[in-house]
Chains A and B, each alone.
Chain A
Amino acid sequence: MRRSGAEGTLFRYTSKVVLVGGAYYVAAILGLRLALIERNVTPLWPPTGIAVVAFLLFGWRVWPGIALAAFAVNLPISTNGLAAAATAAGNTVAPLVAATLLVRVGFRREIDRLQDALAIVFLGALVSMLISASVGAGTLMLSGAIPASKFPAAWAVWWTGDAMGVLVVAPFLLGLLQRPWSGSLRERIELGALLLLVADVSVLVTNTDLRLMFLVIPFLGWTAWRFQQRGAAPAALLAAGIASWAAAHGLGPFQQGTLFEKMITLQAFNATVAFSSLFFAALVTERTRAREALERSAAELEDRVALRTAELSAANEWLNREIAERHDTDRKLRQREGQLAEVQQQAQVGNWEWVIPEDRVSWSDEMYRIHGYLPKAFPLTFEKAVEQVEEEDAARLRANLEAALARGRDHDLPPSEYRIVRADGAERVLLGKARLSVGSDGRPLRMIGTVQDITEGKRAEREHRIAETLQRSLLPDRLPEIPGVLLAARYLPATSDLEVGGDWYDVVQLPNGSVGLAIGDVAGHGLRAASTMGQLRMALRAYALEEGSPSQVVGRVRRLVRMLVPDIVTLIYLVFDPESGTLRFANAGHPPPLLVEGNGETSYLEGGLGPPLGATAHPRPDIDVTAHLDAGSTLLLFTDGLVERRGTSILDGLTRLKTLAADPGEDLEALCDHLLGSMVTEEVSDDIALLALRQVPLAAEPLFLRLPAEPQVLAPLRQTVRRWLREIDADPGIVDDVLVACGEASANAIQHAYGAKDGLFEVSLVLSDGAVEVTIRDLGSWRPSSGSGRAARRGGLGQRLMRALMDSVDVDSGSEGTVVRMRRSLQVEVDRERTRAR
């Protein structure tokens, strides 16, 4: 069953009231057994102790329980209801006042301090019970229950009874309500035994005529000493209860004497029992606590000493470390000063300071060296410091300085370049940087700065510019256009200042229609490497036109290098025949070409490797290596700058390039950019040349060529036409026929259209209705054949050949030029040969 909050509170309250009222009533019935006067004045009145404890525990609100129980107790023994009510009121108010006073003075229920014992004795018992005694005894007298003469005795008994009720019962109850005792079994037995002893002694002394009641006291003391309130309270209750019982029944010492004498004896005993047990227990507790506090503080002190000692030793250690570090820093500083001087010397940088008000200039050692003096040769002033500066520059520097000093605040002066002439006449170019510091009033105080000797740098810079220009001018400005062959090239100069290298590449169209590709690297950098490269490039071109095989060309260059050039050179020369896709090459110590096939397979062409040019006096002959480049395959030639990185093996670079090139894509230019972009991530420490070649199918579309009208183009033209015809699967006989006809028409264009002037002519081949249509067009005006010369004879033969070889030949000659249109069926005619021959 659930109750609301208000109901729950009410229920708990009612329960408390009933509990308290019940306890009070039962205790009162027991207490009345001890009555000495009439039936309602008792020497020990336990309900008062219960009431005080109830008010301490539950507060003033439980008063109805006390009041009703007190009324119920008093009604049968009072003369009328009014008297009972008055007595009940007194019995209620007195414990209420007692509890209130105790709370006011900070009473602790443990009664473990002397002040708690004093509070309960005087405020809780003696003072507060004046109320109940006065009201109770007064009511007895006024209601006529006792005569006025008996009032003092009744009052005294009532007062002491209530007070004893508080002193004997309240500590006992409060003790029971403490948190459970954690005593050992032995202690519990000891306590039980002591209480039994107190009870025995009490019974013994109250049942003998001898006045031996004081014998109880030592046992009470012992109990209080051993167990404090926990033992003292029940012991006092036992002793006082037994004594009161004996007094009420006139036993032992209470057999004789007047009621007053009995009262005095009993109350004196009870008071002694209560006081001594209470005070002794409180004192012992207090002493114990004080000792514990002392022990605690002693332990704490020990801890603090240990802590402080640790702190001190840590501080000491820190101090030692600090000293060691200072020492170390000091040493490093001295070392650094030495290093600085060394660095300054290496970098040719000096630093200076100018204390302006005193016109005192100090120079670092390197400053003296830059100016051609021995370090620390002499003291300096501003004028002395600038005496070597050339007149023109000096004027500029002074103007800058004036402006800077006039600004009146800290700032950096713009760097300035100037020349000095040393005492020995040597001219140097210096770069000066300075910073001005001013005082709080803006007056110039101090200037510091650096001076760098940049003479060599300036010279090298000029050389670098020349070398780079030379380098660029020596590389081909454009690559030849070869039908069915894609070419792309890149040259990337080194970024670091003086590193223009001797890398080069070249593409040469050979008389037989093949293409010569060269890539090389002259060791070293700068102007000399660039000029060597230029010489070798030209020599190689010449040899390429003359010599047959790549190994012969490389061999010739090798001889040239040995005779003329003191450098080491690596070189690959490669001849590519676009018609057959055949590659032949010879390699003199150069990184191998990378072959990337159409399916993405990559391999380095590592064969045929000879020593670099100029490396050995008598090398064995160079050898040719042959490879094949299918349509769609790509060949990459490069210099070591592409694959070499500081700190990594060239093999890593080669592996990386291989991976990157495995997906070459359609666009050869894009491939070059991709490779350079991915391989060159930081600054270019060595220059890089890259040359890419790709064989692409020709016959996918009509062939169209525009060529210079020179006899040299005929062989490459034939090669392209032959390739195109083969790719469209023309019969070999037909290929030869068309080739000759095309050659004749082209020869005519070359011979007749322009004379000695330069010009272009166009050749196109188109596949149409199972026939090949050949068109040769020029933009010149044909000159009439000059009599019977070589050209005329050739021309006549040519006309006859063209007409015999082709199915139709139309010549359309006008002022705009001449167009020759020829057609030849691709059908193989078995009889043609015989027919024509006749």
Chain B
Amino acid sequence: MSELARVESEQHGSVCLVRIFGEIDMSNDRDVLSEIEVAVGRETDRLVVDLTHTTYLDSAGLALLLRLAERMQARQQVLSVVVPVDSPVRRAFELTGLASVIDVVSRSEDALSETRPGHSNDQM
């Protein structure tokens, strides 16, 4: 509770689901990134980062996701980010055009059900 952000991860076969609770800013972005990378195993083909419970995310968080996306790409892994329509962090994705670089979905079910690799920008 006292930590700014908490990271929880689940492995569903080759799909790794990481949920981020709390806030991400420049004080904890590196910690969050390394926690996510620890969660992602070799057998993971696809990583779903669920921001449903993320209450604040600014340029530091966006930069984190870009960096993560680059690393995943380098390892032939696929990244999807879950941002619900009513999320307070959704505006940041919209206004920076990040959605055109990263696969952003509205619901975690959508991201998990997707089996084929590749981008699926279903919202924007």
Residues of chain A whose beta carbon lies under 8 Å from any beta carbon of chain B: 510-512, 514, 516, 544-549, 575, 711-712, 714-715, 718, 733, 736-737, 739-740, 743-744, 747, 750-751, 790, 793-795, 797-798, 800-801, 804-805, 833, 836-837
13 contacts between A and B (CB under 8 A): A512-B1, A512-B3, A544-B2, A548-B1, A718-B56, A733-B91, A736-B88, A736-B91, A740-B56, A744-B59, A797-B62, A797-B63, A797-B96
Docked CA distance A516–B60 (Å): 26
CB-CB nearest in chain B for A549: B1
Docked CA distance A836–B6 (Å): 32
For A546, the chain B residues whose CB sits under 8 A away are 2-3
Q: Say if the beta carbon of B35 comes within 8 Å of chain A.
A: no
Docked CA distance A747–B23 (Å): 14
Chain A at the B interface: mostly helix, strand, loop or mixed? helix
For A790, the chain B residues whose CB sits under 8 A away are 63, 67
B2 A711 Cβ-Cβ under 8 A? no
For A744, the chain B residues whose CB sits under 8 A away are 58-59
For A514, the chain B residues whose CB sits under 8 A away are 1-2
Give residues 88-106 of B contacting A (CB, 8 Å): 88, 91-92, 94-96
Q: C-beta contact mask, B30-68 vs A, less than 8 Å → 1, else 0?
A: 000000000000000000000000001011101100110
Q: C-beta contact mask, B1-39 vs A, less than 8 Å → 1, else 0?
A: 111101000000000000000110111100000000000
CB-CB nearest in chain B for A733: B91
**Which residue of A511, A798, A804 contacts B58 across the interface (Cβ within 8 Å)?**
A798
A266 to chain B, nearest CB (A): 150
For B94, the chain A residues whose CB sits under 8 A away are 833, 836-837
A739 B56 Cβ-Cβ under 8 A? yes
**Which residue of A547, A743, A795, A805 contacts B91 across the interface (Cβ within 8 Å)?**
A805
For B25, the chain A residues whose CB sits under 8 A away are 711, 714-715, 718, 743, 747
State whether A800 and B2 are in contact (beta carbons under 8 Å apart), knowing that A740-B91, A744-B58 are contacts in the complex: no
Docked CA distance A733–B91 (Å): 9
Chain B at the A interface: mostly helix, strand, loop or mixed? mixed
Docked CA distance A804–B94 (Å): 10
Docked CA distance A733–B86 (Å): 10
**Which residue of A510, A549, A751, A800 contacts B95 across the interface (Cβ within 8 Å)?**
A800
Residues of chain B whose beta carbon lies under 8 Å from any beta carbon of chain A: 1-4, 6, 22-23, 25-28, 56, 58-60, 62-63, 66-67, 88, 91-92, 94-96
CB-CB nearest in chain B for A750: B26
A753 to chain B, nearest CB (A): 14
A805 to chain B, nearest CB (A): 7
Docked CA distance A743–B58 (Å): 7
For B1, the chain A residues whose CB sits under 8 A away are 512, 514, 547-549, 575
**Which residue of B4, B26, B59, B91 contacts A512 across the interface (Cβ within 8 Å)?**
B4
Docked CA distance A540–B96 (Å): 42
B95 A575 Cβ-Cβ under 8 A? no
State whether A511 and B28 are in contact (beta carbons under 8 Å apart), knowing that A516-B2, A549-B1, A575-B2 are contacts in the complex: yes
A718 B23 Cβ-Cβ under 8 A? yes
Docked CA distance A715–B67 (Å): 23
B2 A547 Cβ-Cβ under 8 A? yes
For B2, the chain A residues whose CB sits under 8 A away are 510-512, 514, 516, 544-548, 575
For A750, the chain B residues whose CB sits under 8 A away are 26
Docked CA distance A511–B4 (Å): 6
A794 B63 Cβ-Cβ under 8 A? yes
CB-CB nearest in chain B for A584: B1
B22 A512 Cβ-Cβ under 8 A? yes
